[in-house]
């Protein structure tokens, strides 16, 4: 680069960077203030981390931008605590640097090992998502508890800490120095947080969106000026908090050489330490530990937002030292966020197959835990009220692993007055029937028009096609909506001559029924129909397409002219009818599930099908006979009897029978017979884990049950066989530990067809 380009470009780049860094700094300081002073997250942690990361980058390229009080050089909170008396820590409390990938972690460890001049041991532990606390013990007595503040001066919360039972007032054991500072994290265990929110909900109070902020808010409450009732509530919240210690501050010359040994000492003094830590000889072990907990976050009793990696050798802590913000001998690997902020665009009410009217949040689509979320259930109007969300709010949304997304609450501080409250409709949004509770006192409202409420029929039709029922490819949400959506001028294929929709006609539909189906396309954000450029409501025809030259000779039985256009059935229409036809003779239990009998899912349906062998035998059974059938019981027996008593259910059976649906198991000898005889696996419990060649996951379970065995989902002493294929994880390990009989896919195939003797 020549001098002339340097003088031309550098000032502009620097200016640009300075402007960006300035804006970022202002924003980060605002966010910190809200977070540490008002226990509120105005943005998600991931967004905050991204801003910090960007600021670090800018300062890296333009070191002149890095002032002493840049957020990258300072610890979170504020020096002058506004609520509590100040406490000066004997030794500074630092934050931690972050890494976000295995590669970044490797770079960190290489730097550490280079600076140490040797390989080191790494202590890996869970990063507890709570708030930092500093406990000072003098002569074994707790004299002060303080928040981190700006790292030098924190807030005195000694009084409130007294209500946290896991924090001892006196250290037990011996060997504690005259003065020691212990550092830890205060948090709500997941279960305690759930209970707290349940209690808030029951009391008609607002639920808390975030355990970290709830913990911080609970600890940083002032007793003064509170009514006796409010004081009781405060004590109650404090008593649910817990603490785990993860370090020491001031302690000259500790009698141990490693951080992991510090934990043994601390726990010997009666302080709670975490059991989730391990020491590794290299960074690969740490990365496996990170992967493991990334997949098992939900199994930990408290929230975690990452893994803290510390050099285990204490001598190296002094050698490596610290920056003004964080130690060089530790770093935090941050997991991708499970909580994000997004906009609540609307709350719409949907009616499901059982008639329950459920408010749904439609949110601005947002990436979280590996998928894009655009809606979340809000359960019922009481939950909407308790969460305190208004339409138009910025809300906190959580999605953990495979768990369904949940709206945790609003960010009240971001309201601008345009938000509006949700009003639960009085009429069913699908059929205008007045909604009512199923029984007195029920919070959930239902549409009582179960027979022909289009939303309920749609839900039931979708259920017929679902994997746990008849597993009909092509009969999913969209097809179910298309078959039931009543639209002028076409009648939905599942409507009878009165125009009432019902699943009774599902198996007798023909191409001619499907052909005219026109479906309105709804706009997700508004819930209103989409409009074309010409101002027409947008409609699609999923079961037909325009004829093309490739379609061969004209077939008058399945083709049609509409206006001047020529249509043929779509591939989807033909497949749907073929698949429906093929499912008429599927196993009886699948047909039973497809009937949408309350409480009768695959497990109960299998039990009924195995014992009775036909729908007629089930109908003829007494309540006692049903209830006594293994795997059935009283509640299901009642639900089955109730189901048969409804007239229009008879119509479904009649219509389906006429269409060729098989309501019995060919060759079944009659009630009880199959049960007595048992299968080759009668009395045996088998667990299938990993991928077993030749079997799907569900197929393996079915094979066990079909052979009369019990398909268990977890391994215990009572398990007789564990069939394990590639990918078998903890179940296989447990089976080995218990010394159980472990078999491979080939042996499994023998076992379920010929029984245990085949393996001898
Ligand atoms: N959403 C927002 O608006 C907002 C604003 C400010 C801060 N934040 C969040 O706070 C973070 C910054 O806070 P920070 O400076 O406290 O850093 P940090 O939370 O990333 O890490 C440092 C802290 O981790 C804690 N910790 C938990 N488990 C630990 C363990 N096993 N060993 C050692 N320490 C452990 C310690 O208290 C330590 O002070 C951000 O990354 C962000 O997640 C969010």
Q: Is residue 248 within 8 Å of residue 181, measured between CB atoms?
A: yes
Element (H, E) at 549: none
Residue 79 lies in a domain: no
Residue 441's domain is classified under what CATH number? 2.40.50.140
Q: Predicted confidence band at 265 (pLDDT cuts at 50, 70, 90)?
A: very high
Tell me which residue has its CA closest to atom 20 in ligand 1.
96
**86 HSE (CA, 13 A, CB side):** 13
How far, in Å, from the CA of 52 to the mean position of ligand 1? Answer: 13
How far, in Å, from the CA of 165 to the mean position of ligand 1? Answer: 24
- Is any ligand 1 atom within 6 A of the Cβ of residue 99? no
How far, in Å, from the CA of 540 to the mean position of ligand 1? Answer: 51
- Is any ligand 1 atom within 6 A of the Cβ of residue 332? yes
Residue 312 lies in a domain: yes
Mean pLDDT of all residues in 653-665:
96
Structure tokens at 293: 């907990």
Domain end: 296, 319, 334, which one? Answer: 334
Q: Which has the higher per-residue pLDDT, 312 or 534?
A: 312
Judge residue 557's burial from the number of C-beta atoms within 10 Å of its C-beta, 0-12 exposed, 13-18 middle, 19 or more buried: exposed
How far, in Å, from the CA of 373 to the mean position of ligand 1? Answer: 26
- Is any ligand 1 atom within 6 A of the Cβ of residue 393? no
Instruction: Note the pLDDT of residue 198.
Output: 87
Residue 660 belongs to what domain range?
A: 584-675
Q: In degrees rounded to 5, what are phi and psi of residue 552?
A: 75, -160
Q: Is residue 410 within 8 Å of residue 378, measured between CB atoms?
A: no
DSSP 352-373: -TT-EEEEEEEEEEEEETTEEE
How far, in Å, from the CA of 397 to the mean position of ligand 1? Answer: 20
CB atoms within 10 A of CB 736: 13
Q: In degrees rounded to 5, what are phi and psi of residue 147?
A: -75, 175
Residues with Cβ within 8 Å of 3's Cβ and at least 6 positions away in sequence, in order, are none
Flag whether pLDDT at 502 surpasses 90: no
Element (H, E) at 579: helix 571-583
Tell me which residue has its CA closest to atom 13 in ligand 1.
76
How far apart are the C-alpha atoms of 613 and 436, rounded to whole Å? 38
- Is any ligand 1 atom within 6 A of the Cβ of residue 244? no
Residue 44 Cα: closest atom of ligand 1:
1
Mean pLDDT of all residues in 226-231:
89
How far, in Å, from the CA of 322 to the mean position of ligand 1? Answer: 16
Domain end: 403, 425, 445, which one? Answer: 445
Q: Is residue 668 within 8 Å of residue 618, measured between CB atoms?
A: no
Q: Predicted confidence band at 519 (pLDDT cuts at 50, 70, 90)?
A: confident
Q: Predicted confidence band at 10 (pLDDT cuts at 50, 70, 90)?
A: low
Strand 721-724, strand 741-743: pairing: parallel
How far, in Å, from the CA of 72 to the mean position of ligand 1? Answer: 13
Q: Is residue 199 within 8 Å of residue 240, measured between CB atoms?
A: no
Instruction: Note the pLDDT of residue 568.
Output: 87
DSSP secondary-structure letter at 348? Answer: E
How far, in Å, from the CA of 130 to the mean position of ligand 1? Answer: 8
Structure tokens at 684: 């045996």
Residues 429 and 572 in one domain: no
- Is any ligand 1 atom within 6 A of the Cβ of residue 125? yes
Residue 486 lies in a domain: yes
- Is any ligand 1 atom within 6 A of the Cβ of residue 95? yes
Flag whether pLDDT at 190 surpasses 80: yes
Q: Predicted confidence band at 553 (pLDDT cuts at 50, 70, 90)?
A: confident
Residue 80 lies in a domain: no
At residue 618, the 3 state secondary structure works out as helix
- Is any ligand 1 atom within 6 A of the Cβ of residue 246? yes
Structure tokens at 42: 């105005």
The per-residue pLDDT for range 709-730, each reduced to its tens digit, is: 888 888 999 999 999 988 888 8
**100-114, 451-465, 473-487, 648-662 — which is least confidently predicted?**
473-487
The per-residue pLDDT for range 303-339, each reduced to its tens digit, is: 999 999 999 999 999 999 999 999 999 999 999 888 8
Residue 183 Cα: closest atom of ligand 1:
37
In the chain, the number of structural domains is 6
Tell me which residue has its CA closest to atom 12 in ligand 1.
76
- Is any ligand 1 atom within 6 A of the Cβ of residue 76? yes
Residues 343 and 329 in one domain: no
Mean pLDDT of all residues in 608-616:
93
Instruction: Note the pLDDT of residue 558.
Output: 67
- Is any ligand 1 atom within 6 A of the Cβ of residue 42? yes
Average pLDDT score over the chain: 89
How far, in Å, from the CA of 28 to the mean position of ligand 1? Answer: 14
Flag whether pLDDT at 3 surpasses 50: no
Pinpoint the alpha helices (H) of 207-328.
211-219, 228-240, 259-268, 283-295, 314-320
To the nearest whole percent, how much of the chain has pLDDT over 90? 62
CB atoms within 10 A of CB 234: 17
CB atoms within 10 A of CB 65: 19
Residue 36 Cα: closest atom of ligand 1:
6
The per-residue pLDDT for range 110-154, each reduced to its tens digit, is: 999 999 998 899 999 999 999 999 999 999 999 999 999 999 999
CB atoms within 10 A of CB 76: 19
- Is any ligand 1 atom within 6 A of the Cβ of residue 317? no
Instruction: Note the pLDDT of residue 274.
Output: 95
Residues 248 and 103 in one domain: yes
Residues 250 and 153 in one domain: yes
- Is any ligand 1 atom within 6 A of the Cβ of residue 127? yes
CA distances, 471 to each of 245, 360, 402, 639, 701 (Å): 51, 26, 21, 23, 16
Three-state SS string over 436-497 comes to EECCCCCCCEECCCCCCCHHHHHHHHHHHHCCCCCCCCCCCHHHHHHHHCCCCCCCCCCECC
- Is any ligand 1 atom within 6 A of the Cβ of residue 45? yes
Instruction: Note the pLDDT of residue 11.
Output: 66
Residue 351 lies in a domain: yes
- Is any ligand 1 atom within 6 A of the Cβ of residue 48? yes
Mean pLDDT of all residues in 501-506:
90
Residues 62 and 90 in one domain: no
Residue 78 lies in a domain: no
Residues 203 and 92 in one domain: yes
Per-residue burial over 516-546, b if 16 or more Cβ lie within 10 Å, else e, is: bbbbeeeeeeebeeeeeeeeeeebebbbbee
Which residue from 77, 87, 131 is spatially nearest to 243, judged by alpha carbons?
A: 131
How far apart are the C-alpha atoms of 590 and 663, rounded to whole Å? 10
Strand 394-398, strand 539-540: pairing: unpaired
How far apart are the C-alpha atoms of 453 and 430, rounded to whole Å? 7
Residues 184 and 297 in one domain: yes
CA distances, 29 to each of 76, 254, 365, 545 (Å): 9, 37, 28, 58
Residue 148 Cα: closest atom of ligand 1:
39
Residue 326 Cα: closest atom of ligand 1:
22
Residue 9 lies in a domain: yes
Flag whether pLDDT at 601 surpasses 60: yes
Tell me which residue has its CA closest to atom 44 in ligand 1.
45
Work out the angle between the directed axes of helices 190-202 and 228-240 (0-180°, nearest 10). 150
Flag whether pLDDT at 252 surpasses 70: yes
Q: Angle CA(188)–CA(193)–CA(197) in degrees, nearest 5?
A: 145
Residue 40's domain is classified under what CATH number? 1.10.287.610
Element (H, E) at 746: helix 745-754
Sheet holding 330-334, edge to edge: 98-99, 330-334, 304-311, 122-128, 277-280
How far, in Å, from the CA of 93 to the mean position of ligand 1? Answer: 12
How far apart are the C-alpha atoms of 503 and 451, rounded to whole Å? 9
Flag whether pLDDT at 1 surpasses 50: no
- Is any ligand 1 atom within 6 A of the Cβ of residue 96? yes
Sheet holding 544-546, edge to edge: 544-546, 565-569, 560-562
Flag whether pLDDT at 699 surpasses 50: yes
Q: Is residue 490 within 8 Å of residue 516, measured between CB atoms?
A: yes
Tell me which residue has its CA closest to atom 16 in ligand 1.
95
CB atoms within 10 A of CB 186: 27
Helices and strands (H, E) in the chain, number of each type: 26, 27
The per-residue pLDDT for range 682-692, each reduced to its tens digit, is: 889 999 998 88
**Catalytic choice (16, 127, 222, 710):** 127
Instruction: Note the pLDDT of residue 2.
Output: 43
Residues 166 and 259 in one domain: yes
How far apart are the C-alpha atoms of 641 and 597, rounded to whole Å? 10
Residues 221 and 114 in one domain: yes
Instruction: Note the pLDDT of residue 676.
Output: 46
Instruction: Note the pLDDT of residue 653.
Output: 97
The per-residue pLDDT for range 62-87, each reduced to its tens digit, is: 999 988 889 999 998 776 657 789 99
How far, in Å, from the CA of 495 to the mean position of ligand 1? Answer: 59
At residue 610, the 3 state secondary structure works out as helix
The per-residue pLDDT for range 345-396, each reduced to its tens digit, is: 999 999 999 999 999 999 999 988 778 899 999 989 988 998 999 999 999 9
Which residue from 336, 412, 384 is spatially nearest to 50, judged by alpha carbons?
A: 336
Residue 125 Cα: closest atom of ligand 1:
31
- Cis link prior to 145 (omega < 30° from 0)? no
Instruction: Note the pLDDT of residue 527.
Output: 63
Q: Is residue 525 within 8 Å of residue 551, measured between CB atoms?
A: no
CA distances, 337 to each of 130, 188, 430, 605, 678 (Å): 15, 19, 36, 40, 50
- 31 Rama class: left (phi>0) / alpha (psi -120 to 50) / beta: alpha
Residue 274 Cα: closest atom of ligand 1:
31
CB atoms within 10 A of CB 261: 15
How far, in Å, from the CA of 391 to the mean position of ligand 1? Answer: 31
- Is any ligand 1 atom within 6 A of the Cβ of residue 43? yes
How far apart are the C-alpha atoms of 580 and 86, rounded to whole Å? 73
Can you list the positions of beta strands (E) in 210-262? 242-248
For the question of residue 538 being annotated catalytic, the response is no
Residue 662 lies in a domain: yes
Residues 574 and 686 in one domain: no
Q: Predicted confidence band at 16 (pLDDT cuts at 50, 70, 90)?
A: very high
Residues 144 and 164 in one domain: yes
Pinpoint the alpha helices (H) of 33-162.
38, 45-61, 102-116, 158-161
CA distances, 616 to each of 588, 592, 619 (Å): 12, 12, 5
Flag whether pLDDT at 442 surpasses 80: yes
Residue 637's domain is classified under what CATH number? 1.10.150.20
How far apart are the C-alpha atoms of 472 and 483, rounded to whole Å? 14
Element (H, E) at 280: strand 277-280
CA distances, 84 to each of 87, 154, 177, 341, 410 (Å): 9, 9, 28, 30, 27
Q: Is residue 426 within 8 Å of residue 56, measured between CB atoms?
A: no
DSSP secondary-structure letter at 633? Answer: -
Instruction: Note the pLDDT of residue 688.
Output: 92
Domain end: 658, 675, 692, which one? Answer: 675
Residue of 37, 52, 99, 132 with the most ligand 1 atoms within 8 Å of its CB, for mutation: 132
- Is any ligand 1 atom within 6 A of the Cβ of residue 621? no
Flag whether pLDDT at 157 surpasses 90: yes
How far apart are the C-alpha atoms of 249 and 363, rounded to whole Å? 44
Residue of 37, 332, 334, 411 with the most ligand 1 atoms within 8 Å of its CB, for mutation: 332
Residue of 91, 125, 308, 395 with the most ligand 1 atoms within 8 Å of its CB, for mutation: 308
How far, in Å, from the CA of 235 to the mean position of ligand 1? Answer: 26
Instruction: Note the pLDDT of residue 285.
Output: 96
Which residue from 753, 700, 703, 757 is spatially nearest to 728, judged by alpha carbons?
A: 700
Flag whether pLDDT at 543 surpasses 60: yes
Residues 356 and 493 in one domain: no
First to last CA, the chain: 79
Structure tokens at 549: 């030259």
Flag whether pLDDT at 428 surpasses 90: yes
Q: Angle CA(497)–CA(503)–CA(506) in degrees, nearest 5?
A: 90
At residue 702, the 3 state secondary structure works out as helix
Tell me which residue has its CA closest to atom 31 in ligand 1.
127
């Amino acid at each position: 680069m020549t001098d002339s380009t340097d003088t031309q470009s550098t000032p502009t780049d620097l200016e640009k960077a300075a402007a960006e860094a300035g804006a970022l700094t202002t924003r980060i300081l605002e966010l910190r203030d809200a977070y540490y002073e008002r226990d509120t997250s105005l943005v998600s942690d991931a967004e905050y981390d991204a801003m910090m990361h960007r600021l670090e980058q800018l300062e890296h390229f333009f070191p002149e931008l890095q002032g002493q009080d840049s957020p990258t050089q300072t610890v979170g909170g504020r020096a002058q605590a506004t609520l509590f008396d100040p406490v000066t820590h004997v030794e500074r409390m630092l934050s931690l640097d972050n890494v976000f990938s295995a590669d970044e972690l490797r770079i960190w460890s290489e730097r550490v090992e280079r600076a140490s001049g040797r390989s080191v041991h790494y202590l890996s532990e869970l990063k507890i998502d709570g708030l930092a606390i500093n406990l000072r013990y003098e002569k074994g007595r707790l004299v002060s508890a303080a928040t981190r503040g700006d790292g030098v001066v924190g807030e005195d919360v000694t009084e409130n800490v007294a209500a946290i039972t896991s924090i001892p007032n006196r250290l037990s054991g011996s060997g504690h120095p005259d003065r020691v500072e212990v550092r830890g994290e205060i948090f709500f265990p997941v279960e305690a947080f759930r209970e707290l929110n349940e209690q808030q909900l029951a009391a008609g109070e607002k639920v808390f969106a975030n355990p970290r902020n709830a913990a911080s808010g609970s600890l940083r409450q002032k007793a003064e000026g509170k009514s006796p009732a409010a004081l009781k509530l405060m004590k109650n919240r404090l008593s649910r908090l817990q603490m785990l210690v993860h370090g020491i501050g001031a302690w000259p010359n500790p009698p141990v050489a490693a951080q992991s040994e510090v934990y043994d000492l601390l726990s010997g003094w009666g302080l709670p330490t975490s059991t989730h830590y391990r020491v590794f000889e290299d960074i690969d072990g740490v990365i496996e530990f990170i992967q493991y907990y990334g997949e098992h976050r939900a199994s930990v009793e408290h929230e975690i937002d990452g893994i803290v990696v510390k050099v285990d050798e204490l001598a190296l802590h002094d050698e490596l030292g610290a920056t003004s913000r964080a130690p060089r001998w530790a770093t935090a690997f941050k997991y991708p966020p499970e909580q994000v902020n997004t906009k609540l665009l609307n709350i719409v009410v949907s009616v499901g197959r059982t008639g329950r009217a459920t408010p749904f949040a439609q949110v601005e689509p947002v990436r979280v835990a590996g998928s894009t979320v655009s809606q979340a259930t809000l359960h019922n109007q009481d939950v909407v009220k308790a969460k305190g969300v208004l339409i138009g709010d910025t809300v906190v949304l959580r999605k953990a692993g495979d768990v369904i997304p949940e709206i945790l609450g609003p960010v009240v501080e971001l309201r601008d007055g345009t938000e509006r409250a949700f009003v639960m409709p009085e009429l069913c949004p699908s059929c205008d029937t007045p909604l009512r509770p199923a029984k007195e006192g029920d919070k959930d409202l239902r549409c009582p028009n179960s027979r022909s409420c289009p939303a309920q029929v749609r839900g039931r039709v979708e259920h017929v096609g679902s994997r746990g029922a008849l597993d009909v490819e092509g009969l999913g949400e969209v097809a179910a909506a298309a078959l039931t959506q009543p639209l002028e001028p076409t009648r939905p294929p599942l409507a009878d001559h009165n125009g009432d929709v019902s699943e009774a006609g599902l198996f007798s539909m023909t191409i001619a029924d499907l052909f005219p189906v026109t479906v309105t396309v709804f706009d997700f954000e508004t819930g209103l129909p989409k409009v074309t450029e010409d101002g027409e409501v947008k409609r699609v025809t999923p079961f037909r397409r325009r004829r093309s030259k490739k379609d061969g000779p004209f077939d008058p039985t399945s083709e049609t002219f509409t206006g001047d256009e020529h249509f043929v059935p779509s591939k989807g229409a033909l497949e749907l009818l073929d698949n429906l036809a093929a499912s008429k003779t599927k196993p009886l239990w699948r047909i039973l599930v497809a009937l949408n009998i309350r409480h009768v899912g695959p497990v109960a349906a299998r039990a009924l099908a195995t014992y009775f062998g036909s729908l007629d035998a089930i109908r003829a059974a007494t309540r006692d006979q049903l209830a006594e059938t293994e795997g059935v019981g009283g509640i299901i027996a009642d639900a089955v009897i109730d189901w048969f008593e409804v007239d229009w259910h008879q119509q479904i059976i009649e219509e389906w029978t006429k269409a060729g649906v098989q309501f019995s198991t060919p060759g079944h000898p009659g009630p009880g017979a199959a049960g007595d005889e048992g299968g080759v696996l009668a009395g045996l419990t088998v667990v299938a884990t990993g991928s077993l060649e030749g079997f799907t996951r569900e197929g393996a379970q079915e094979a066990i049950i079909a052979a009369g065995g019990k398909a268990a989902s977890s391994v215990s002493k009572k398990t007789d066989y564990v069939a394990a294929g590639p990918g078998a994880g903890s179940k296989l390990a447990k089976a080995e530990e218990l010394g159980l009989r472990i078999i491979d896919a080939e042996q499994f195939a023998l076992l379920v067809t010929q029984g245990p003797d085949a393996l001898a």
